[in-house]
Chains A and B, each alone.
Chain A
Amino acid sequence: MSLETILFILFAAVGSISAVLMITRRSAVISALFLILNFAALAGLYLLLNAQFIAVVQVIVYAGAIMVLFLFVIMLLRPENERKFLRANPKVKIFALAIAGIIFIQLGYLIFFSHPSGNPSGTVAASIKAGTIEEIGRQLFTNYILPFEAAGFLLLAATIGALILAKKKFE
């Protein structure tokens, strides 16, 4: 049992459990906190996969910015705590869980028992090199410059949109 396997099991467990807990807590704040924990576990998994840049970005952007935004809104709106999970529309909820379960089984089948055409097995060195910031930066500014600019526009639009939507009425 190598260190990698142990770490994988650790991060995977933390990620799964925090995900499940997130959706079952009654208080919204607690759910947000568990999501942050999930993101942290994911960052660990990224590191295990030699994706250093993405791991760091995950922590900074997701856990640091987006979740903070979520918490701000939760605190602002102060929604009341939900009731027990199955009190409202129990039939619909159970049906939804069933469907989700079925999809999970189908995905599992596809993952394990299908025969993919490609064979993903590169070398460790190659994956280390691919995860460095230089490599990502090179790809970003040469081959994928167009999506990069488009993303910029998208962020601009989102900023303006969010601003206007959340603004109080003009006097």
Chain B
Amino acid sequence: MIQLIYLTVLFPLIGFLINGLFGSKIKNEKVIGIIGSGVIGLSFLVSVGAFIETIGLPVEQRKNIVDLFTWLSVGGLNIHFAYQVDQLSLIMALIVTGVGFVIHVYSIGYMHGDKSFWRFFTYLNLFIFTMMNLILADNFLLLFLGWEGVGLCSYLLIGFWYDRKFEKMTTSDAGKKAFVVNRIGDFGFLLGMFLIYMTFGSLNFGEVFGRVGAFNVDQSVFNFIAIFLFIGATGKSAQIPLFVWLPDAMAGPTPVSALIHAATMVTAGVYMVARCSLIFASAPAILTVIAIVGAVTALFAATIGLVQNDIKKVLAYSTVSQLGYMFLALGVGAFSAGIFHVMTHAFFKALLFLGAGSVIHSMHEDQDIQNYGGLRKKMPATALTFLVASLAISGIPPLSGFFSKDEILWKSFANGNVVYWAIGAFTALLTAFYMFRLYFLTFEGNSRWGKDKRPHESPKVMTVPLMILAVLSAIGGFIGIPALFSGEGGNVFEHWLEPIFKNADARLALYSAHTHTDEIILMVVSIILAVGGIMIARQIYMKKPNIATSAAKKFKGIHKLLWNKYFVDEIYDATVVTPIVKTSESFLWKITDAKIIDGVVNGVASLVGSISKNIRKIQTGVAQVYALVMTLGIAIALLWIILSL
């Protein structure tokens, strides 16, 4: 099955082609949905098969390359369309195809009745295709192909309802913003790739990582490569400073937010850093930068999420915050902890978004939580699964989120320093608080919706995926129980991924002087913080709602700052966007394009025209003039004869 891994990429491509070419002719939604989801299901099965087969192999043989064909062979650059099946890419493949399959099934219900039903599934399949390319690639260029591809699909899917208004702009403006901000990150990624090729002479993972130790490379080169690659990751994974596109990406349909902007695409940056762990381990200064950026982003986004009223916006900022956690983990050298959090986050964040979608659907597209309240009675299944996900993300044991978040906090204390831990712990408190604010305001308390809305539970095709994800959110963490509890074998998840990161770990030479006791203490502290956050939220939003409003009035300035997202968008607009647009318009367009380039082209044309207009006059029709010209020729010929004598 390992050799057939290309099928995981081929199946979504087939789905994309069938739905894309014939989708508009197929009038039956069910058929389109089955084709669209079915191909992802098949990909999932192939991934599972490859996973089982890899488990059966001894540890040294767990990395397999499946070479399909040679893509580029130019000079010294040799790029193959080849897939690397190893522990890390299998984990990611399982996540992408598994969660992707569930979300596809959910979309059959969510997008029911949409006039472009087929287009949605076409784009979703295209997305899975490019994402799988990204994950399975065995060289930088193929990874970049997938990288760009998911950016494209993100744009297509954000602006799916292209004629719909979204805040002060249209949905396609939001799509464009995502694409452009991503592009800035991609520029950094490209620079990193160029440097890698220049330094190591290859873009193949195996060759590059093999040469990291062998070649004698200056430290600054490693630093530059690492920082450029990280810039690419900040663009794709929405970290500071390139996170601004993610909240606006909520303009797209909710399954899109769940799949792309929670579970898969945004984790591409984390995956890339993990894959290139050896390079980052060779640039410890940049690892520090990553850790700081991750921690600050986590805190920053969590504060914004405290006061938002749009249910999807809260979840979007929560995603940015959780991604910050993942980068914090990577930055302190806990690579497998970061990947572990990717996995659990995929489960509970997708579940949160799908649950939100369920609510939005039944409340007829109203996304303002101030109009919700008491929906548990009307939508029990959605409420229960949403509760499970909220508990998971808050880090309540024994749900999955507890294990992954705690691992990150422990490692940031042990490998990093206490400041990282403090920021992470405080953010965990905020996370629990705003998640349960969301839960209480939506599902508990008195209903605040008008008589015209009739909220109802969603159909089975939407609730069954919710339940599947809820189960995964609940039990998914057991695979990563820390060594503390599971005995001699150690953390199963970390053990599984150990061969991938062993070179990086060796290079970082991390030495942890802390004991098991410290770990248990920190675990207890984070549980207390999580429960505390939930209790505070309960107190405010269930018992005494006017605490919230009076706090908002008392701290008006801070509230305004948070509610306006620290004015980051406005700052970017004023300092970067507007000058560029103005320059493009007034200088590049009006002068360079219209005057200079068009002028040259038109000038050449009119020059030819005027020359020919004048030369045309030679033909006067009077024979004597022709004779005159002939005589002129004779004079020249004689001159030539004389000169050659």
**Binding site of A, secondary structure by majority: helix, strand, loop or mixed?**
helix
Contact B631 A99 (CB under 8 A): yes
Query: Smallest distance from the beta carbon of B620 to chain A beta carbons, Å?
Result: 9
Contact B631 A106 (CB under 8 A): no
Query: Smallest distance from the beta carbon of A23 to chain B beta carbons, Å?
Result: 13
Query: Smallest distance from the beta carbon of A146 to chain B beta carbons, Å?
Result: 31
Residues of B near A99 (CB, < 8 A) are 628, 631-632, 635
Query: Smallest distance from the beta carbon of A133 to chain B beta carbons, Å?
Result: 36
Residues of A near B642 (CB, < 8 A) are 106, 109-110
Residues of A near B641 (CB, < 8 A) are 110
**Which of chain B's residues has its CB closest to A100's CB?**
B631
Q: Tell me if B77 is interfacial: C-beta within 8 Å of chain A.
A: no
How many angstroms from the CA of A109 to the CA of B628 in the assembled complex?
22
Query: Smallest distance from the beta carbon of A114 to chain B beta carbons, Å?
Result: 6
How many angstroms from the CA of A100 to the CA of B624 in the assembled complex?
14
Q: Tell me if B639 is interfacial: C-beta within 8 Å of chain A.
A: yes
Q: Tell me if B483 is interfacial: C-beta within 8 Å of chain A.
A: no
Residues of B near A103 (CB, < 8 A) are 631, 634-635, 638
Query: Smallest distance from the beta carbon of B444 to chain A beta carbons, Å?
Result: 103
How many angstroms from the CA of A96 to the CA of B628 in the assembled complex?
7
Contact A106 B645 (CB under 8 A): no
Q: Tell me if A163 is interfacial: C-beta within 8 Å of chain B.
A: no
Contact B628 A95 (CB under 8 A): yes
Q: Tell me if A107 is interfacial: C-beta within 8 Å of chain B.
A: yes
Residues of B near A96 (CB, < 8 A) are 628, 631
**Which of chain A's residues has its CB closest to B632's CB?**
A99
Contact B638 A92 (CB under 8 A): no
Query: Smallest distance from the beta carbon of B611 to chain A beta carbons, Å?
Result: 21
**Which of chain B's residues has its CB closest to A96's CB?**
B628
**CB interface residues, A 79-131, toward B, < 8 Å:** 92, 95-96, 99-100, 102-103, 106-107, 109-110, 114
Contact A106 B632 (CB under 8 A): no
Contact B635 A102 (CB under 8 A): yes
Query: Smallest distance from the beta carbon of B449 to chain A beta carbons, Å?
Result: 95
How many angstroms from the CA of A73 to the CA of B642 in the assembled complex?
42
Residues of A near B632 (CB, < 8 A) are 99
Q: Tell me if B418 is interfacial: C-beta within 8 Å of chain A.
A: no
**Which of chain A's residues has its CB closest to B633's CB?**
A99
Report if A107-B638 is in contact (Cβ < 8 Å); known contacts: A96-B628, A96-B631, A99-B631.
Answer: yes
User: For the side of the interface on A, what is the size category?
Assistant: 10 to 19
Q: Tell me if B625 is interfacial: C-beta within 8 Å of chain A.
A: yes
Residues of B near A109 (CB, < 8 A) are 642
Contact B638 A110 (CB under 8 A): yes
How many angstroms from the CA of A102 to the CA of B642 in the assembled complex?
13
Report if A114-B645 is in contact (Cβ < 8 Å); known contacts: A103-B635, A103-B638, A107-B638.
Answer: yes
How many angstroms from the CA of A107 to the CA of B635 in the assembled complex?
10
**Which of chain A's residues has its CB closest to B620's CB?**
A92
Q: Among A92, A95, A100, A106, point to the contact of B639 (Cβ < 8 A).
A: A106
**Which of chain A's residues has its CB closest to B627's CB?**
A96
Residues of B near A95 (CB, < 8 A) are 628
How many angstroms from the CA of A109 to the CA of B643 in the assembled complex?
11
Query: Smallest distance from the beta carbon of B55 to chain A beta carbons, Å?
Result: 98
**Which of chain A's residues has its CB closest to B641's CB?**
A110
**Which of chain A's residues has its CB closest to B638's CB?**
A106
How many angstroms from the CA of A114 to the CA of B641 in the assembled complex?
11
Residues of A near B634 (CB, < 8 A) are 103
How many angstroms from the CA of A110 to the CA of B639 in the assembled complex?
10
**Which of chain B's residues has its CB closest to A109's CB?**
B642
Residues of A near B635 (CB, < 8 A) are 99, 102-103, 106
Given contacts A92-B625, A106-B638, 13 further A-B contacts (CB under 8 A): A92-B628, A96-B631, A99-B631, A99-B632, A100-B631, A102-B635, A103-B635, A106-B635, A106-B639, A106-B642, A109-B642, A110-B638, A110-B641
Chain B interface (Cβ within 8 Å of chain A)? 625, 628, 631-632, 634-635, 638-639, 641-642, 645
Chain A interface (Cβ within 8 Å of chain B)? 92, 95-96, 99-100, 102-103, 106-107, 109-110, 114
Q: Top 8 nearest A-B pairs by Cβ distance? A: A106-B638, A103-B635, A102-B635, A99-B631, A96-B628, A99-B635, A99-B632, A114-B645
Q: List 25 A-B contacts (CB under 8 A).
A: A92-B625, A92-B628, A95-B628, A96-B628, A96-B631, A99-B628, A99-B631, A99-B632, A99-B635, A100-B631, A102-B635, A103-B631, A103-B634, A103-B635, A103-B638, A106-B635, A106-B638, A106-B639, A106-B642, A107-B638, A109-B642, A110-B638, A110-B641, A110-B642, A114-B645
